[in-house]
A and B are shown apart, each in its own frame.
Chain A
């Protein structure tokens, strides 16, 4: 079974540009979570999509947005990039174990803003 996939692996942008990151969940999983992990910091929750809708978002400005497609893959868009947006962006796929939810992570996209 294929795991969570993310693309691109690395992305270099300049300040003010826009970045688009992509994620495909494990087949059959309908929920996708996005996290930001800046250097030296823990995972910060960004966005949660389920069944094509945004269900929750973390404490990030509106220039962080995304969407989920009918095949449950997801896109994270970051507009008007700032230097502090440089981070590892992780996507996770969620599934119900029968008792609780578990999340499995993709390999991440390393975004560098110069």
Chain B
């Protein structure tokens, strides 16, 4: 059975810290892995990864995929309170399968 597992489920840090969120997957016909940030309602798109070892970067956020070991990480450096959210990892094969998310809380 296809599955996407995120860890940790919850994380509390202080402003300025660096965090690493993990996403491992077991799916057939892998096509891409996506990261989303969900604050109040709709998840907003962060990154799409299709190739191993190529880092995607956007400001303080970066992500990389390892298709051999079947995982991805999302790094956030110099965290800010506005980074507090649920971060969702999703894998697209024949449909989109989401992990349970990591709830990140950044304290001032």
Contacts and interface: CB of A to CB of B under 8 A. Distances in A.
Interface of A: 4, 33, 35, 41-45, 48, 56, 88, 90, 92, 94, 97, 99-108
A105 B40 CA distance: 12
Nearest to B33: A100
Q: Which interface residue of A42, A44, A101, A104 has the most chain B CB atoms within 10 A?
A: A42
Interface of B: 31-32, 34, 36, 41-45, 48, 50, 88, 90, 92, 94-101
A107 B41 contact: yes
The secondary structure that dominates the A interface is: strand
Contacts of B100: 41-42
Rank and list the top 9 A-B pairs by shortest CB-CB distance, nearest first.
A100-B32, A42-B100, A105-B42, A43-B98, A108-B41, A107-B42, A100-B31, A105-B43, A107-B41
Contact of B95 (A56, A88, A102, A107): A56
A42 B48 CA distance: 19
Given A45-B97, A101-B31, 14 more contacts: A42-B99, A42-B100, A43-B43, A43-B90, A48-B95, A88-B41, A100-B31, A102-B34, A102-B48, A105-B36, A105-B43, A106-B42, A108-B41, A108-B42
B92 to A, nearest CB: 6
B89 to A, nearest CB: 9
A102 B45 contact: yes
A45 B32 contact: no
25 contacts: A35-B98, A41-B100, A42-B98, A42-B99, A42-B100, A43-B88, A43-B90, A43-B98, A45-B95, A56-B94, A90-B42, A94-B96, A97-B48, A99-B50, A100-B32, A101-B31, A101-B92, A103-B90, A104-B45, A105-B42, A105-B44, A106-B42, A107-B42, A108-B41, A108-B42
